[in-house]
Amino acid sequence: MRIARAVPHARLIVVVRDPVDRAYSNWTHPGAAAGAHAPPQLWRAASVPLTWALQRGGGPRPPLPVEVRRQLVERFADDVHRLSTLTGEDFSDWLGDEGRGEFSTRAVGAAV
């Protein structure tokens, strides 16, 4: 199994687009901090409707400007090479000016 497919869907963050999304998003981190003191199954159950609300009607993320991507690549290139060495997988596409698109669009039709 590829590492990217092992990330639970709930961990993927959507772009905050409107005041309703912003209100939900503002409660996520304090809710997670409070949930750290509760049994995990309680926080998981409570987070389901919040996660659903944040992901409703989720459109595509805005593209990352090339200049910003280049700055990130420069900062994390050594880590990307180390990750490739440790996992034996090729992550060289992370080092270019363009990505492969959002996980949700790459995962469509992919074998899990």
- pLDDT tens track, the chain, 112 positions: 344 444 444 444 555 567 777 777 777 777 777 777 888 888 778 778 877 777 776 666 677 889 999 999 999 999 999 999 999 999 998 999 987 777 666 666 554 4
Residue 60: what pLDDT? 67
Q: Who contacts 17 (Cβ-Cβ below 8 Å, separation ≥6)?
A: 59
Question: Is residue 57 left, alpha or beta, with left meaning phi > 0 and alpha meaning psi from -120 to 50?
Answer: left
Contact 32, 26 (CB under 8 A): no
Q: Who contacts 97 (Cβ-Cβ below 8 Å, separation ≥6)?
A: 66, 69, 70
Residue 16: what pLDDT? 57
Q: Where are the domains of the chain?
A: 1-59, 62-112
Residue 107: what pLDDT? 65
Angle 52-54-58 from CA coordinates, rounded to 5°: 95
pTM: 0.47
